Chain A
Amino acid sequence: SQQGEEDPQALSIQEGENATMNCSYKTSINNLQWYRQNSGRGLVHLILIRSNEREKHSGRLRVTLDTSKKSSSLLITASRAADTASYFCATDLNSGYSTLTFGKGTMLLVSP
């Protein structure tokens, strides 16, 4: 079953705009991770945020985590056409083996 649910399912913006994607989950987590997938390719890890962290930054990426609301958001600032991809959140339920449960993803289209 899906643990994380991304919102929106699809997002279309212009280059230079910011893109915000949200993820909600159902049970307590050890950490939450965001991945990007270009069409027909493998996933690429973007950022990991631990359950005791509230915000992390990496370049143009900003991730927040609200464990009380069981939600996370990924903000991509100053989007570029190359950011066009599907973005997935994945939750680690503290199984000890880094097994992740992925959501269905948000498909982001950035137009030039």
Chain B
Amino acid sequence: SQTIHQWPATLVQPVGSPLSLECTVEGTSNPNLYWYRQAAGRGLQLLFYSVGIGQISSEVPQNLSASRPQDRQFILSSKKLLLSDSGFYLCAWSNSGPYYEQYFGPGTRLTVT
């Protein structure tokens, strides 16, 4: 069976510090991978998605970046965090194609102070 892992679960970082969130998927190959951010009481905002190694599409311009160094690894990074980067970050995967649901990880709660 497939599983998706995210770490860390919670993170408190000062403004201006770097960020690295990691997501890994097990039990599947060549998945589509996604990073979302959820502000308090809000829906999900798609940040990045990837259909293969090294292929990253950005949905929202911001000071975040994403990389996919391996087939089942997706990393969200920032060189300098802003207060507005606080939120709940969710990684998800899906099979390729138009009729597949997405499977979400447990999320990372990021607080920028």
Contact = CB atoms under 8 A, between A and B. Distances in A.
A35 B100 CA distance: 13
Interface in A60-112: 88, 90, 92, 94, 96-105
A92 B46 CA distance: 12
Contacts of A24: none
Given A2-B43, A88-B44, A97-B51, A42 B107 contact: yes
A104 B45 CA distance: 10
Contacts of A43: 44, 90, 92, 102, 104
Contacts of B97: 98
Nearest to A2: B43
A48 interface: yes
Interface string B86-98: 0010101011111
Contacts of A4: 43
B43 A98 contact: no
Contact of A40 (B46, B59, B109): B109
Contact of A100 (B57, B88, B102): B102
Interface string A18-40: 00000000000011010100001
Contacts of B99: 30-31, 48, 50
B46 A41 contact: no
A99 B98 CA distance: 9
A99 B46 CA distance: 8
14 contacts: A4-B43, A33-B101, A33-B102, A40-B107, A41-B106, A42-B90, A88-B43, A94-B98, A96-B98, A97-B57, A98-B95, A101-B46, A102-B45, A104-B43
Interface of B: 32, 34, 36, 41-46, 49, 51, 57, 59, 88, 90, 92, 94-107, 109
Interface of A: 2, 4, 30-31, 33, 35, 40-45, 48, 50, 88, 90, 92, 94, 96-105
